[in-house]
Chain A
Amino acid sequence: DAKTTQPPSMDCAEGRAANLPCNHSTISGNEYVYWYRQIHSQGPQYIIHGLKNNETNEMASLIITEDRKSSTLILPHATLRDTAVYYCIVKAFGNEKLTFGTGTRLTIIP
């Protein structure tokens, strides 16, 4: 699976949009971009995933660049409960392993 690069930490004001970047320049054509988050020491929580089109669900939006070498997770109206470590993972369908890097620690500021 392709390697991902994320900033180690970010801050965002409560109520504003949080934009979390991820670089995956070696991504292959059959690899999806997944986002998970982990609040404190709880189990990781699935957020969203995509292949090449932008995606939106009730939690977030995922913007993938046309060349697929980077993506951005957008939390439209961040709340204090969104404070967590966010993991960007690139994985091919059929590969059982989710490779978690060190992620981005997002802190929402009141």
Chain B
Amino acid sequence: DADVTQTPRNRITKTGKRIMLECSQTKGHDRMYWYRQDPGLGLQLIYYSFDVKDINKGEISDGYSVSRQAQAKFSLSLESAIPNQTALYFCATSDRRLADSTDTQYFGPGTRLTVL
């Protein structure tokens, strides 16, 4: 979905390096998410944010941190990258509608991260 963009799309880094993945959205959604996907597996939630002052840990937050700089921007950082953080990383936004009790998530194109 072109409304959710991620940079960089591919990144190769070395063990111990700090790296930041960035996500921007033009959908106007309040909620944003970071997921990782390992080969052949489903997605796992790392962090999510309801707004710029509300950050929450997901199921695999260890080794990661996030920053919600604005409603439209949500960054994921690896302070000291390790090889088992090699994965596909996806950002998503959510359109929560109380009127019909639905909250659909829309995903960015992903960042392929390799930690050597």
Residues of A within 8 A of B (CB): 32, 34, 41-46, 49, 51, 87, 93-94, 96-103
Contact of A43 among B42, B59, B102, B107 (CB under 8 A): B107
B94 (CB) vs chain A CBs: closest residue = A96
Q: How far is the CA of A98 from the CA of B105 in the complex (A)?
A: 9
Interface size class of B (residues with CB under 8 A): 20 to 34
Is there contact, CB below 8 Å, between A43 and B1?
A: yes
Q: A41-B88, A41-B112, A87-B42 are in contact. Are A96 and B56 (CB under 8 A)?
A: yes
Q: A41-B112, A43-B1 are in contact. Are A97 and B90 (CB under 8 A)?
A: no
Instruction: Indicate whether B78 reaches chain A with its CB closer than 8 angstroms.
Output: no
Q: How far is the CA of A97 from the CA of B59 in the complex (A)?
A: 9
* CB-based closest 7 A-B pairs: A100-B42, A43-B107, A93-B101, A100-B43, A44-B107, A97-B45, A46-B104
A92 (CB) vs chain B CBs: closest residue = B101
Is there contact, CB below 8 Å, between A99 and B110?
A: no
Instruction: Indicate whether B106 reaches chain A with its CB closer than 8 angstroms.
Output: yes
Instruction: Indicate whether B8 reaches chain A with its CB closer than 8 angstroms.
Output: no
Residues of the A chain whose Cβ atoms lie less than 8 Å from the Cβ of B107: 43-45
Residues of the A chain whose Cβ atoms lie less than 8 Å from the Cβ of B43: 44, 98, 100
Residues of the A chain whose Cβ atoms lie less than 8 Å from the Cβ of B41: 102
Instruction: Indicate whether B48 reaches chain A with its CB closer than 8 angstroms.
Output: yes
